[in-house]
């Protein structure tokens, strides 16, 4: 009898990498999401019937029951980063987590991996991070052996973070840096997926928290300088008043290409770095990849049209 893994959520970016690896582990993968039509590209990772999209509404418990029943592994990616007031954040990040934990316990699910956020803390100034911590607590209260994976800013070819910064650098001569001193630890999405598979394959599945973060801690200003260098631009990097940047995002998010969005600003507002007291990639035998190793391969499209830097570099090496 084949193993069944259920992924709950709508984060297609991370899901793509998880599905690809779970299929190679011979799992039948159920994608439980409010928008099953958005998962059609993930079917190519498996054979016919191996990747199964399921409609799962946050407001209909029976849809969760159908998705979880018979599964050996449940991975929860469902989260709300922003919302009107605190109600939506608590609904998705706390109450839904508790519901999933109870259903998994009743269905006899052997393994739960819950995605949380770096910096999750009840004393944080961020409502998002407070609710993520509450979600961890209600999960462990119901399902004590659950594994928790904390992540922050992720990058990869399909990301909506570095790609947005590259797009901004290609359009605006002056980049409006938001919260210049906020510290981030960007992590490659493929490393996260590899870490999850390592956790799934552990012989003993006891509770543990993993802070999965990249090899570098960068301020927002340092990160944008790095992106500007990768795309071979010479933008002026200026820190503007947060209120002014928010106003710009309010209008630019509706422009073609969504040049700047409130979600992007939310990702850059609070520190997102690993807690050294928690387990991490080193405990799983994984060396996380840096931005320089991955990002240039997909950010090159934001370089100037007349940029022949790589060609000149190859020509110089050939001549020498």
> Which residues, including other chains, have CB under 8 Å from residue 269's CB and lie 6 or more apart?
126, 178, 179, 182
Mean pLDDT of the region 302-310:
74
Assigned CATH topology for domain 3-151: Rossmann fold (3.40.50)
- Identify the pLDDT of residue 84: 47
Which stretches of the chain are DSSP H helices? 12-24, 61-68, 87-90, 96-107, 127-142, 162-171, 189-200, 220-230, 242-252, 262-267, 291-294, 296-299, 309-319
pTM, two decimals, is 0.88
Contact between 195 and 210 (Cβ < 8 Å): yes
Instruction: Choose among 141, 18, 127, 112: nearest CA to 80.
Output: 127
What CA–CA distance (Å, rounded) separates 231 from 291?
13
Q: Spell out the domain ranges in the chain.
A: 3-151
pLDDT above 90 covers a percentage of the chain that reads 53
pLDDT above 70 covers a percentage of the chain that reads 87
- Identify the pLDDT of residue 26: 93
**Token output for 108:** 């006899």
Mean pLDDT of the region 131-155:
95
Tokens 């992924």 map to which residue? 7
Cα-Cα end-to-end distance for the chain: 60
With residue 29 as reference, give the H or E element that holds it.
strand 27-33
What CA–CA distance (Å, rounded) separates 172 from 50?
45
Contact between 155 and 188 (Cβ < 8 Å): yes
What CA–CA distance (Å, rounded) separates 262 from 252?
9
- Identify the pLDDT of residue 21: 95
**Token output for 239:** 């820190």
Number of C-alpha atoms within 13 angstroms, CB side, residue 44?
4
Mean pLDDT of the region 7-23:
89
Which stretches of 69-148 are DSSP H helices? 87-90, 96-107, 127-142
What CA–CA distance (Å, rounded) separates 311 from 175?
28
Decide: residue 173, CB within 10 A, 0-12 exposed, 13-18 middle, 19+ buried. exposed
For residue 108, what pLDDT band results from cuts at 50, 70 and 90?
very high
Quick check: helix, strand or coil at residue 214?
A: coil
What CA–CA distance (Å, rounded) separates 157 from 237?
24
What CA–CA distance (Å, rounded) separates 109 from 71?
6
> Which residues, including other chains, have CB under 8 Å from residue 124's CB and lie 6 or more apart?
130, 133, 270
**Token output for 304:** 């100037």
Number of C-alpha atoms within 13 angstroms, CB side, residue 253?
12
For residue 295, what pLDDT band results from cuts at 50, 70 and 90?
very high
Q: Which residue has the higher pLDDT, 59 or 315?
A: 59
**Token output for 294:** 């991955």
Quote the mean pLDDT of the chain.
86
Q: What is the pLDDT of residues 221-278, one digit of tens each?
A: 899 999 999 998 988 887 666 777 777 777 766 665 555 666 666 666 788 899 988 9
- Identify the pLDDT of residue 316: 65
């Amino acid at each position: 009898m084949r193993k069944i893994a259920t992924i709950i959520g709508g984060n297609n970016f991370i899901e793509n990498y998880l599905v690809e690896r779970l299929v190679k582990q011979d799992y039948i993968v159920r994608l439980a999401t409010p928008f099953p039509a958005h998962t059609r590209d993930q079917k190519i990772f498996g054979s016919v019937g191996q990747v199964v999209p399921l409609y799962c509404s946050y407001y209909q418990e029976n849809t969760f029951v159908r998705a979880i029943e018979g599964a050996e592994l449940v991975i929860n990616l469902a989260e709300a980063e922003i919302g009107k007031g605190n109600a939506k954040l608590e609904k998705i990040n706390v109450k839904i987590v508790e519901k999933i934990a109870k259903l998994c316990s009743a269905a006899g699910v052997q393994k739960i991996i819950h995605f949380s956020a770096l910096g999750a803390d009840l004393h944080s100034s961020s409502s998002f991070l407070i609710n993520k911590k509450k979600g961890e607590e209600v999960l462990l209260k119901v399902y004590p052996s659950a594994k928790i994976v904390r992540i922050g800013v992720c990058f990869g070819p399909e990301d909506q973070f570095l790609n947005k910064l590259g797009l901004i650098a290609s359009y605006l001569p002056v980049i409006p840096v938001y919260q210049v001193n906020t510290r981030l630890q960007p992590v490659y999405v493929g490393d996260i997926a590899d870490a999850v598979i390592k956790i799934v394959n552990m012989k003993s599945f006891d509770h543990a928290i993993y802070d999965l973060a990249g090899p570098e801690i960068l301020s927002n200003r340092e990160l944008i300088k790095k992106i500007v260098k990768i795309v071979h631009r010479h933008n002026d990097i200026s820190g503007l008043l947060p209120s002014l940047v928010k106003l710009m995002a309010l209008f630019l998010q509706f422009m073609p290409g969504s040049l700047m969005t409130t979600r992007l600003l939310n990702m850059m507002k609070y520190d997102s770095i690993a807690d050294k007291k928690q387990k991490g990639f080193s405990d799983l035998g994984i060396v996380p990849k840096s931005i320089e190793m991955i990002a240039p391969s997909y950010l090159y499209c934001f370089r100037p049209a007349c940029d022949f830097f790589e060609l000149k570099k190859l020509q110089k090496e050939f001549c020498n």
